[in-house]
Copies of this chain bind each other. A is one copy, B any other.
Amino acid sequence: MTDLRFDWARRDRTGVAEAVLAEGKSGAQIRQAIVGAQTRQSSLLLTRLAAAPGEELAAEIGTAFDYDAVSRTAILDHGLLPTTPCDALIVTGGSSDLPVAREAQRTLRFHGLDVGLLADCGVAGLWRLTDHADRLRAAPAIIAVAGMEGALFPVVAGLTPALVIAVPSSVGYGVAVGGRAALSTALATCAPGVVTVNIDNGFGAACALIKILRPGAAPAHAS
């Protein structure tokens, strides 16, 4: 039975490739996707792949299957795009936000973009952000990852002309549980130039960044 109907044309149609969200899928369904990619000689990105199956698949497939336990992402490599360095940035509030930040970073790399990551820039010590002021101002766009109260999002937006793509992370407890407080900060802020994606959705933030930076998105009023 063919449960999985993969959208192999999505990259051509929308600029980003379909990825496999492993969470909620059975082992058989995940393997079906990998075999499909291998058959087409196509590279494949998997997200939210737990450690046990991830490492098992890496052992089985070998170096073509690059699993990263921090971000729980895997890249099946049938010839990735060469990476281009890029001034866009990923910024995180705390070190607990790294899994989400790395999901974004590895999604960007899968699409050929090499983007820097500034960790642990929470606003309780503003110097951790202002130390990076020049890079923040020079970036064409910024992915900001933060849990707890998410005050990182408006503060970064006030320091840069770049669009800030907020990724609320599920780090926190009490009223912050599951990322709700950080999400409401991203949405409620009056600091202009903040947009948001779902909680912990590093993949989605990377897709947005790719769409902003694609050649076709060159500014119509730039001439």
Contact residues of A with B, CB < 8 Å? 2-5, 7, 9-10, 13-16, 18, 21, 23-26, 29, 48, 70, 84-88, 94-96, 98, 112-113, 119-126, 128, 140-141, 147-151, 153-155, 157-163, 165, 168, 170-201, 203-204, 207-208, 211-222
Contact = CB atoms under 8 A, between A and B. Distances in A.
Contacts of A126: 126, 155, 158-159
Given A4-B120, A174-B200, A163 B212 contact: yes
A216 B181 contact: no
14 contacts: A5-B128, A10-B124, A123-B151, A123-B154, A123-B155, A148-B188, A149-B184, A151-B185, A161-B211, A168-B174, A173-B198, A176-B184, A192-B203, A213-B220
Contacts of A25: 95-96
Contacts of A170: 174
A95 B191 contact: no
A140 B24 contact: no
A85 B186 CA distance: 30
Nearest to A114: B221
B175 A217 contact: no
Contact of A123 (B171, B191, B211): B191
B162 A195 contact: no
Contacts of A204: 192, 194-195
Nearest to A129: B126
A181 B187 contact: yes
Nearest to A186: B149
A-B interface, 8 closest residue pairs, ranked by CB to CB distance from nearest: A174-B199, A84-B221, A24-B96, A192-B207, A176-B188, A181-B188, A195-B195, A174-B198
